[in-house]
Amino acid sequence: MFLEKLMPDQYVESIHHIDIHFLREKKIKAVITDLDNTLVEWDRPYATPEVESWLKQLHKEGIQVTVVSNNNRDRVDKFCTPLGVRFISAARKPGNRAFLQAVADMNVSIEETVVVGDQLFTDVLGGNRLGFHTILVVPVTQTDGFWTRFNRRLERLALYWMRKKGMITWKTQE
């Protein structure tokens, strides 16, 4: 069923609510994360000190990170390069290519990797289609670019049906 492909394995308030020690216990070696409205607002060019700290904590725990974003190279490069974080831009999520490239670049398996993002139709669907553990986060801001606003409308409809079918029990921002 299509709705099951939209169902994340976990739902958390933000990246800062992801238990890094739990990831290590689960033998997770890598994180593929979205950028816009997952790590920072879609219009914030650089990482906040809190995001920098989170990335450093992952590194300290031996967990690699690749940012996989549908945004353009200039946007993603400007954010990731000062942090020394690997990235794939123009990813065309939920397609498989960028996810598979990320695990190959990090030399890890899908089972050793989690996908983190704020959108059902790009991050969660893309990760679930390949068998990744997926973590949906609340968007860091309620404003979005044009295409994301369109996706959010579809997302609200999907969440409504998932809740109605008893698939989800958490509260979402609507």
pLDDT digits (tens, 9 = 90+) for 48-57: 999 999 999 9
Residue 169 is assigned to a structural domain of this protein: no
Q: Please tell me which residue, 76 or 143, carries the higher pLDDT value.
A: 76
With respect to residue 65, please indicate whether it lies within any of the assigned structural domains.
yes
Residue 172 is assigned to a structural domain of this protein: no
User: Mind listing the pLDDT tens digit for each residue in 25-43?
Assistant: 999 999 999 999 999 998 8
Counting the structural domains of the chain, the total is: 1
Mean pLDDT to the nearest integer, 74-92? 98
* Residue 37, in any domain of the structure: yes
Q: What is the pLDDT of residue 80?
A: 98
In a domain, 100, yes or no: yes
The contacts of residue 121 (CB under 8 Å, 6+ apart) are: 6, 94, 151, 154, 155, 158
Q: Is residue 174 part of a domain?
A: no
Percent of the chain with pLDDT over 90: 74
- 171 domain residue, yes or no: no
Structural domain harbouring 148: 2-164
Q: Are 131 and 110 in contact (CB under 8 A)?
A: yes
- Read off the CATH number of the domain in which 63 is found: 3.40.50.1000
- As a whole number of angstroms, the distance between CA 63 and CA 120 comes to 24
What is the reported pTM? 0.86
Give a yes or no: residue 74 inside a domain.
Answer: yes
| Tokens 């695990």, located at residue | 103
Q: How far is CA 55 from the centre of its chain?
A: 14
